[in-house]
Amino acid sequence: MLDALPAGARLSAGVVDGRNVWATDPDRALDQLDRIVDRLGAGRLTIAPSCSLLHAPYRVSRETGIDEEVRSWLAFGEEKLDELALLHRALQADAAGRDQLLQESRARIASRRSSPRTNDHAVRSRAAAVTQADHDRPAPIADRLAAQRRRLGLPLLPTTTIGSYPQTTKIRNMRRRRRAGDIDAATYEDFLKSEIDDVVRIQEELDLDVLVHGEPERNDMVEYFGEQLEGFAFSAYGWVQSYGSRCVKPPILFGDVSRPEPMTVSWWEYAQSRTSRPMKGMLTGPVTILQWSFVRDDQPRQETCRQIGLAIQDEVVDLEAAGCAVIQVDEAALREGLPLRGEDQDDYVRWAVDCFRLTSAPARPDTQIHTHMCYSEFNEMIEHIARLDADVLSIEASRSGMELLEVFSGFDYPGEIGPGVYDIHAPRVPSVEEIEQLLRDAQRYLTVEQLWVNPDCGLKTRGWEETRAALRNLVEAARRRRVEIGQPVPA
């Protein structure tokens, strides 16, 4: 890189990571800076972050709710500026002066490297013991789908939703009151159960085939799980821009990941007890948890992702043991993690798909594994999508008029697919006729036996009035299509 620098040009060396939250290793940074000074001289060097600090939270010192040890490993925007100043001073100092300046920073880095929280022997041994065979389901997909059809007894074009139902003002207020200590745990649990009761009743009235519990207990699809997994911390003020005016507060994935106890089983059991229809278990996949967190930078991302995959696997096993026949493992961010450099993409997709497969590998053949992907422009990676080996894949397709499914017409996709038949990102309610036509369009690319009928994403941000109306039309469109293709419809 230095050889390519034009004569007399100044180099801005981004040695402080602007996209993550970890304290900079000063010796590693100074090793780079020393080599640059040797080649260019100090006069042609600017010490800088790797990018704008837009992606970093503001100040670590405000985060008194984060464990003191973990907090010492962090550097948010303000601390990164302090690091730049420290590196500048250290670069100008002699060896003794440098040692004195870096004493505190070195102690933080050493603490992080040696902590049992970043070196959990049980977690590391389990992850290291994973073999390629541990990513495989116990039967090929054709046999699994046959077993699932026998167990579930669903009609052609089965109807379902992606997971969440409207997060109303009432739900958000009750969550806020619980966090503030205004209501006790029992009161909050009773409230959540009443919300689940309502969601189950509404879905039965709409005559959906596979139900969900609506996720009233979940603040966020990643944060909810991170709060129950070892290896995560959460800031109170660590908001960063996601897109436009939307901000998010990513979990801080600082250590080795494990699942101390079941995270969703009791909620699934309660919801299933309220209906005789299949109730999905709803989980977030390892790649999405990885992508939507501030991830530790002291080991390869795929190692961290494998640990998360094993933790989610434990939840799949426990849901199945409780009787759950349909389990959805969402990988909304699978494609989002695709590296920009083409030469790095195959390796990423390989380990990302392996981590997803790891979550569901122990599931019995008659347990149906669903996954959902928000970013569905995957023409160039269709073989990798098939290698996920999910029984049912739900995707966003309504806005393309089902043309996105064209990739499946030239590819013998073995699983079933739920192409979203309406866009949940707008309040518009699609007509029955519109959904019928989309289902006909989908059959240009997929067989009717492969098709599920569902919205294109969760309904968390929508209101109940439009949700009911849209789902009522969705169910009626599926019913009409069944009649049209000759499947008997129960009276």
For residue 426, the model assigns a pLDDT of 87
Q: Any idea which of 9-13, 58-62, 227-231, 347-351 has the lowest mean pLDDT? A: 9-13
pLDDT band for position 108 (50/70/90)?
very high
In this structure, what is the dihedral angle of CA atoms 407, 375, 391, 313, given to the nearest 10 degrees?
150
3-state SS class at 136: coil
For the ranges 3-12, 37-46, 108-117, which has the lowest average pLDDT? Answer: 3-12
Average pLDDT score over residue span 343-365: 95
Question: What does the pLDDT read at residue 2?
Answer: 73
pLDDT of residue 491: 42
Mean pLDDT across the chain, nearest whole number?
93
With CA atoms as reference, report the closest residue to 193 among 273, 279, 277, 284: 273
pLDDT value of position 242: 79
Query: What is the CATH code of the structural domain delimited by 125-485?
Result: 3.20.20.210
Q: With 90 as the cut, is the pLDDT of residue 3 above it?
A: no
* 279 to 120, 149, 214, 265, 269: CA distances (angstroms): 35, 15, 11, 12, 9
| pTM for the model | 0.94
pLDDT at residue 374 above 80? no
Q: Which residues are catalytic?
A: 425
Which residues contact residue 255 at a Cβ distance below 8 angstroms, ignoring those fewer than 6 apart? 70, 115, 117, 118, 120, 230, 231, 296
Which DSSP helix (H) or strand (E) runs through 373? Answer: strand 368-373
32-80 confidence digits (pLDDT tens) = 999 999 988 888 999 999 999 998 999 999 999 999 999 999 999 999 9
Compute the distance between CA of residue 319 and CA of residue 26 in angstroms, rounded to an integer: 46
Q: What's the pLDDT band for 488 if we cut at 50, 70, 90?
A: low
Token readout for 459 is 């309904």
What whole-number distance in Å separates Cα of residue 482 and Cα of residue 225? 38
Residue ranges of the domains in the chain? 2-114, 125-485
Q: What integer pLDDT is reported at residue 451 of this predicted model?
A: 96
What contacts 203, CB < 8 A, 6 or more positions away?
161, 211, 212, 275, 277
Give me the mean pLDDT over the 474-486 stretch.
95
- Tens digit of each residue's pLDDT (9 = 90 or more) over 240-297: 987 777 788 999 999 999 999 999 999 999 999 999 999 999 999 999 999 999 999 9
Contact 415, 398 (CB under 8 A): no
Q: Tell me the pairing of strands 252-258 and 294-295.
A: parallel
Q: Is-contact 442 451, C-beta < 8 A?
A: yes
pLDDT at position 56, please? 93
First to last CA, the chain: 73
Phi/psi for 458 (5° steps) reads -70, 165
Give DSSP secondary structure letters for 185-211.
HHHHHHHHHHHHHHHHHHHHHHT-SSB
Confidence of residue 411 (pLDDT cuts 50, 70, 90): confident
Percent of the chain with pLDDT over 70: 98
- The beta-strand segments (E) located in 396-489 are 416-419
Give the Cα separation of 364 and 420 in Å (integer).
27
